[in-house]
Chain A
Amino acid sequence: MLELTPKKLSDRSTLRINPIKTCQPVGAMYAALGVHQCMPHSHGSQGCCSFHRMFLTRHFKDPAIASSSSFTEGASVFGGGANLKTAIKNIFDIYDPEIIAVHTTCLSETIGDDLNGYIQDAKVPEGKLVVHTNTPSYVGSHITGYYNMISGFIKYLSTATGEKNGKLALFPGFVNPGDMREMKRLMKLMGTEFIMLPDTSGVLDAPMTGNYTMYPKGGTTIPDIRDLGNCEMTLGLGELTSEFPADFLEKKCKVPYKTLPLPIGVENTDAFIMALNQFSKNEVPYEIEEERGQLMDILLDSHQYTNNKTVAIFGDPDTVLGMAQITLEMGMIPKYMVTGTPGAAFDRKAAALLEKFGIEGCTAKQSGDLFELHQWIKNDPVDLLIGGTHGKQVARAEDIPLVRVGFPIIDRYVHSYMPIVGYKGAIRLAELILNALMDRQDRDCEDEDLEMVM
């Protein structure tokens, strides 16, 4: 496996090998699927739409619907206006969504299609909506596309009517439906009224009933997106993902915002709960206290199996930072933290995290790739790998256990239903990490050292 990867690091400035990021439009498509009765629309060649639907479907094991402008060479020369016009008519005719959320591609961006103009000119049936965002694939990553699409909804729909609604606007970060459910559960327990955008729970984890519906029950509703402008404040979870739309909403509707890390691990969840507490002025209920206490119990009970274990974490920036936090809390050393998404803030935040825990000698890199991470591991190995499916090659090549967390996980089931956020999510992560390390100990030890009780 990966035998052609040399141990010796080379000066590589250009060739990207085994990336840890993909392009903006897939993130935009994911965000749009978290809006109720929304058809995500890819303005480009149909291949983009196919690849993105394929990828989301493989991660969620659930239908990911989206349509395409199906550019041909002619449209690429003369512009995609006619294609979009036809597409909008056909989508409303055949698939009858409430809203179409258009995102661009590197194709339509390179030719400079004017989406604002096209959409203004489009014939949209009474009561239906078309919104858009620009997602050039050659800027940022799928994370960028995700927050651009959220901002696109806000740009078109959210308004401040002057009458506050008493609610918290919550941007959940690039997380699974299972995480969004957990965030909602915690907010309800805290008595917080909220509007969450997007909300893919009930869409990409919709139940099997024997009847397929194109638009399942979940998703943020259009009235709620409009009402975002009347929220008291915004809480953006995942600072590198949610600050952009939070800032956008503030600029447009004067909703003040606060950002926090994704609530992964003890302190990050504490910060989330405290923020909800300050917002709602409600006391933290026993149910949450009990969950936190259970987590503390588990981490104390098991600390000897995680203490000083080294771990390489790769994936999306906020997920990697969250996972670094919880592994540090478990006494582990996040020796390598790599994200493919560009942005120097990642390096700064990783450094701050290490400083907080007094750990030295770890490396964090934004705009990195798995090829380089593998080379680092070859030179200085780790006990555990945490990240998405693409890490399985490195895990196999170097015989390191892999705990699958984040996006994309295209080779396992159930993950998208289960949270990694909140105290419950931390309990689940503790179990995943402990099982990986302890199974490994059981596998590697001598017969005479096999412990019946651990």
Chain B
Amino acid sequence: MDSRDKVLDKYNSKIYKNRKEHVIEIDGGEPQVIAADTRAIPGIMTNRGCCYAGCKGVVTGPLKDVVNIVHGPIGCAYYTWGTRRNKAKGDENTKDFTQYSFSTDMQETDIVFGGEKKLRQAIKEAVEIFNPECIMISSTCPVGLIGDDIHAVAAESEKLYGIKVLAFSCEGYKGVSQSGGHHIANNGLMKYIIGTGDAEPQKYSINLLGEYNIGGDGWEVERILKRIGYHVVSVMTGDGSYADLKNAHTADLNLVQCHRSINYIAEMMKTKYGMDWIKVNFIGLESIKKSLMDIATYFGDPELLARTEAVIAEELDEIEEGMAYYKSKLDGKKAAVYVGGSRTHHYINLLKYLGVDVILAGYEFGHRDDYEGRDVIPSIKIDADSKNIESITVTKDEANYKTFHTPEKIEELKAAGIPIEDYQGLWADISEGAIITDDFNHFETEEFLKLLKPDIFFSGIKDKFIVQKSGVPSRQLHSYDYSGPYAGFRGALNFAKDITMATYTPVWNMVQAPWKSEPTLVGSLGGME
């Protein structure tokens, strides 16, 4: 029996029937199908979070000049206060509210009599104290149940105070994971913010989508892009701002890092503004090189291409020696990677470069296209849970619509391998024989750890100490264990250094007490020495 069957066989028949579609072994033959983005099973210790976590926690929360008021009891605001490492920095023109947590702190009377009055008052107080240009309201579970009309309150407040006020109905019970919340956030930003600014278009300007600046990743990517000569109009949303987002439509090209959380915007901007998007990955040397060359090729300016090559060469030169050293320490090791909805794939090539093979992988809230590639989208059946998440349609904005290339040129670029409107799935890079588990849970984590014995395990805080206590080095790939950046050339070196440290810390050699392996009683038997 192989490892997959050994684990699945321990389930009762009902769970087995469900999970067998989510757990597969890569066999390299026919394109493999996996079940994803479906309900978690009650009682199974899933790692998933909720719709609110995806909307406020991931997408809208990092917008620094926005007062994000969480409408609900206190917990949800509390848990998303400074916990995701989406670094931000304000300046004299940009207020930074990310150090603050705002909540209506709903009480029992609000649940009984409705919370709209309280929300109105909270907005009033936020305006009086902070005078923000934009306020966003995020709903938590009870708000949708008691029927507070946060959208009406937002519209009313917008008029009253002359500022932008957005509402997101991202109650935790919606959808099946964080993923629904990403979509809801995307809809709101697209509908009400993007396209409302009037900045002058700049040459070679780009938006960076799905980059949350965890551990300063976005800053490292921006540093490289600016070195080459791009103008970054907006970053969605790490260290991003309402002020920048308004002008996102003036860019020439959208770069998409985490497509799972933000591709909706990229697609809608293509329809509305004609802006192309390409999939990028700034994690891992080969991916960064390819992404930078793809961008330069898209713009097609020989000078830009030359500068890109020069920057790549210089950046590589800076880290080469270090990378070679860490590779020598890590070569031949095996890893498990379980993160998010795009990130697992992002790290595979970096690990490969370091000689580390990924033998166990999966996503927390990925969809089938994140595993199988974008081509599979037309064949994905929309179930009832997904239908509950609104999908908006946009139309061409005649005034702001512009195309950078002719359709013929786009086809030519696509044929040359530039990932315009395209991304591959995990299948493209995962090794033969690897076990994939979608919506990985505690039980499978523990069982596969025992069977496959990876040398290092990448996931989040809830697993970290479970894995570490099993004797396996464990690093968080959501928070980078408070290190980073991991993006860009320098980030790759940080990553290599961190996982080498995790693997070689002297403590691993001391875990077993000497009396567990050596006899502690010394005596003689029958008078003999």
Contacts and interface: CB of A to CB of B under 8 A. Distances in A.
Contact of B173 (A17, A18, A63, A107): A107
B69 interface: yes
Given A57-B465, A62-B465, A105-B141, A16 B77 contact: yes
B50 A211 contact: no
Interface string B15-56: 100000000000000000000000111111111111111000
Interface stretch (A90-98, A288-296, A327-335, A347-355): A90-98
A139 B464 CA distance: 32
B121 A371 contact: no
A148 interface: no
Contacts of A41: 43
B433 interface: no
Contact of A86 (B41, B47, B130): B41
Interface stretch (B101-109, B240-248, B326-334): B101-109
Contact of A51 (B72, B76, B105, B118): B76
A18 B465 contact: no
A57 B39 contact: no
Given A45-B141, A73-B173, A57 B43 contact: no
B146 interface: yes
Contacts of A304: none
B105 A210 contact: no
Nearest to A66: B45
Contacts of B464: 57
Nearest to B54: A47
Interface residues of A, number: 82
B11 interface: yes
Contacts of B511: 208-210
A15 interface: yes
Given A46-B40, A47-B172, A212-B466, A22 B121 contact: no
A81 to B, nearest CB: 11
A75 B50 CA distance: 14
Given A73-B173, A88-B43, A14 B118 contact: yes
A69 interface: yes
Interface stretch (B92-100, B188-196, B286-294, B336-344): B92-100
Contacts of B10: 94
Contact of B45 (A44, A45, A67): A67
B469 A63 contact: yes
Interface in A1-58: 1-4, 6, 10, 12-19, 21-23, 25-26, 41, 44-48, 50-51, 53-55, 57-58
A90 B15 contact: yes
Contacts of B44: 67, 70, 90, 94
A346 interface: no
Interface string A226-246: 000000000000000000000
Contacts of B177: 46
A61 interface: yes
A16 B50 contact: no
Contacts of B404: none
B74 A71 contact: no
Contacts of A165: none
A91 B465 CA distance: 21
Interface string A94-136: 1100000000011101110000000000000000000000001
Contacts of A158: none
Given A69-B42, A90-B44, A137-B73, A57 B461 contact: yes
Contacts of B352: none
B469 to A, nearest CB: 4
A138 interface: yes
A275 B34 CA distance: 62
A359 to B, nearest CB: 31
Contacts of B42: 68-70, 83-84, 86-87, 90
Interface string B229-265: 0000000000000000000000000000000000000
Nearest to A43: B42
Interface string B487-524: 00000000000000000000000011000000000000
Contacts of A58: 83, 461
Contacts of B74: 16, 19, 21-23, 137, 141, 340
A18 B110 contact: no
Interface residues of B, number: 88
Nearest to B50: A47
Contacts of B12: 89-90, 93
B46 A68 contact: yes
Specify which of A23, A91, A109 lies most central, judged by the most chain B CB atoms within 10 Å of its CB: A23
Contacts of A210: 469-471, 511-512
Contacts of A393: 99
Contact of A10 (B100, B104, B129, B176): B129
Contacts of A73: 173-175, 385, 388
B95 A4 contact: yes
B142 A110 contact: yes
Contact of B128 (A10, A50, A75, A95): A10
A138 B110 contact: yes
Interface in B128-187: 128-130, 140-142, 144-146, 171-178
A435 interface: no
Given A67-B45, A393-B99, A94 B443 contact: yes
Contacts of A106: 72-73, 75, 106, 111, 140-142
Given A2-B99, A15-B122, A57 B462 contact: yes
Nearest to A92: B43
B119 to A, nearest CB: 8
A264 interface: no
Nearest to A408: B78
B79 interface: yes
A53 B462 contact: yes
Given A12-B129, A16-B103, A75-B173, A70 B41 contact: yes
Specify which of A2, A44, A212 lies most central, judged by the most chain B CB atoms within 10 Å of its CB: A212
B39 A70 contact: yes
Interface in B348-383: none
A15 B145 contact: no
A397 B47 CA distance: 35
A75 B40 CA distance: 13
A48 B50 contact: yes
A72 interface: yes
6 contacts: A15-B69, A22-B79, A61-B465, A86-B43, A371-B100, A390-B82
Given A15-B69, A87-B43, 8 more contacts: A14-B104, A19-B101, A70-B42, A71-B172, A106-B72, A138-B142, A139-B107, A410-B83
Top 10 A-B pairs ranked by shortest CB distance? A47-B50, A23-B75, A87-B43, A90-B43, A45-B172, A137-B73, A16-B105, A87-B42, A107-B141, A51-B79
